[in-house]
Amino acid sequence: MTKSLNEVTNKKYMKFLEESIDLKMLDSIVTVFYDKVLNDEKVSHFFKNIDMSRQEASFKLFLAYALYGKITYQGKFMKAVHADLNITVDQFNCVEMHMMDSLTLCKVPEDLVIGFSKMVASVKGHIISHS
Ligand code: HEM
């Protein structure tokens, strides 16, 4: 039976994920990170009306992109996503701290952490819209 292109691509993609990416590690980062964010009154209100399972899935994809740099992030652009939220520098720094702490708690290898913090710094200007 001939395989569809989709089937072949998916198989290749899954193989790439299995070989290159620690999916369990990504899952624990997402869990630890949103637990911190949702329990921090400085920023938890932003997520009150957000579908968290969808959010977690998007963030996991972002993590794969930011940590491994091989997957193109398919979500909406950072700027468009955060534009109407009026995020301040303080709120950004708070979320950034939770992200970095989550990577440490989940024992992400140091070289990946360095790349990740560069990525976060590069999107900072797109996310903050309020001084
Ligand atoms: C480095 C910093 C950040 C990164 C990498 C990041 C990443 C993301 C990603 C990947 C999404 C999902 C986009 C999609 O729907 O495809 C998202 C959405 C969202 N982010 Fe961020 N974010 C950051 C900072 C922040 C901060 C500082 C806040 C609030 C204080 C915030 C609040 C939100 C909210 C509320 C949404 C949901 C928007 C919606 O669905 O309407 N984010 N973010």
Q: What pLDDT is stored for residue 101 in this prediction?
A: 97
pLDDT band at 5, cuts 50/70/90? Answer: low
23 Cα: distance to centroid of ligand 1 (angstroms): 21
The token pair at 25 is 């590690």
Q: Above 90 in pLDDT, residue 11?
A: no
- Closest atom, ligand 1, to C-alpha of 127: 24
Taking the CA of residue 94 as reference, the ligand 1 atom at the shortest distance is 27
Mean pLDDT of 101-116: 92
The mean pLDDT value for 46-50 works out to 96
Instruction: State the pTM of this model.
Output: 0.85
**Domains, in order of start, for the chain:** 22-127 (1.10.490.10)
The predicted structure's pLDDT at residue 54: 95
Answer yes or no: is pLDDT of 45 > 60: yes
pLDDT of residue 13: 65
Q: What is the pLDDT of residue 2?
A: 63
Residue nearest to atom 27 of ligand 1 (CA): 92
Pocket mutation for ligand 1, best pick of 36, 47, 82 (most atoms within 8 Å of C-beta): 82
The predicted model gives 6-26 an average pLDDT of 74
Is 38:47 a contact under the CB 8 Å cutoff? yes
- Identify the pLDDT of residue 39: 98
Question: Mean of the pLDDT values across residues 9-31?
Answer: 80
Give me ligand 1 centre to Cα 28, in Å: 18
For the chain, where are the alpha helices, taking DSSP H only? 5-20, 23-38, 52-68, 78-82, 89-105, 110-127
